[in-house]
Amino acid sequence: MTHTPVLGIIGGGIRGSLFARSIQENNAAQLGALCDPRPLARANASAAFGVPAFATVDEMIAAVPELTAAVIATPDFAHRDAAVLCASNGLDLMVEKPLATNTADARAIVDAAKNAGTRIMVGFENRWNPRFNIVHSLLHEADHGQILNQIGNLNDTLFVPTTMLSWAAKSSPAWFLMPHSLDLAIWLGGALPVEVHAVGVKKMLPAMKIDTWDAITATFTMSDGSYVVLNSSWVLPTSAPAVYDFRYEIQTTRGAFHIDGANHGVTHYSSDRLTWEQWGVLERGGRISGVPVDMVNDFVELLLGTKSDLPDAADGLLVTQAIEAVHESLEKNRAVTIAS
């Protein structure tokens, strides 16, 4: 007999609330509790979703013993403690990307899950993006030759590090953005990163008292001899048509692909600016749909044993190791071998 998964959400912000609603709208799962250290966030989440909300993960696990899984939607640097505690208590995990912001934390999460016999899915959203799914199918279902290179430009406007994130100084364009594009490159190409040489600039954000990188370019040598160049910055002007810019290119021995991930096809001209309308999540008839909702639904299918081809602990650990190597390369100003 298959039991209905009961999930707890760790983190009551925008993403945590989105995941909570996704679970409540999934008929095969149940939302059991939420957790957030901020009193107002807890009160709002509890009122919105009609479930108890707790200040700590310990309290949530003790008070709701029927929990079978947890979604980690805390800030990137704060994944380890929540994930290790949940895994150690037998909960399967869906963890927002990156799995962690250093290899030690990532290994601690992976080891806790391995010791407890629980599963990890990492939220690399591009694997659910229909545009990239089409490219993945084309690359793997037809003979497009060998991949020569992949080039990804994934950038945010200044709004993200100055207004959206209160913890930007604890992150970087590489930690916040490159896990998306690097996992995408690995998934599309089927090769692993073995070496990286990165360069970056620190000017605008440090001048604004946010001690992190403005822009980073990382060139990865892949295990099949191809290369991947990823450019990520946090300093696009806020007048840009969307809060992010995402352009991706793949060259093979028999052709090329160009994918625009930010322009969804609707350009809005107003009296003072041009805007690319975004609909990562759509609401229709009182229900939501979209890439992050699909991701949650697949996690539920994983819990039910009907889905397995999803980014897992090994994928999350590899990307964390690679992005940590990006920062090591920035510090040493040379190429760095990525730990395997």
Cα–Cα distance for residue pair 147/143, rounded to 1 Å? 11
Beta bridge partners of 282: 289
Structure tokens at 280: 């990562």
Of 135, 138, 93, nearest in space to 114 by CA: 93
Q: Which helix (H) or strand (E) holds 198?
A: strand 193-201
Q: Does the predicted TM-score (pTM) go above 0.85?
A: yes
Give all domains of the chain, ordered by start, each with its CATH number. Answer: 6-118 (3.40.50.720), 127-279+318-337 (3.30.360.10)
The per-residue pLDDT string of the chain (340 residues; one tens digit each, 9 = 90 and over) reads 458 999 999 999 899 999 999 999 999 999 999 999 999 999 999 999 999 999 999 999 999 999 999 999 999 999 999 999 999 999 999 999 999 999 999 999 999 999 999 999 999 999 999 999 999 999 988 778 899 999 999 999 999 999 999 999 999 999 999 999 999 999 999 999 999 999 999 999 999 999 999 999 999 999 999 999 999 999 999 999 999 999 999 999 999 999 999 998 899 999 888 999 887 888 999 999 999 999 999 999 999 999 889 999 999 999 999 999 999 999 999 999 998 7
Count, residues in the chain: 340
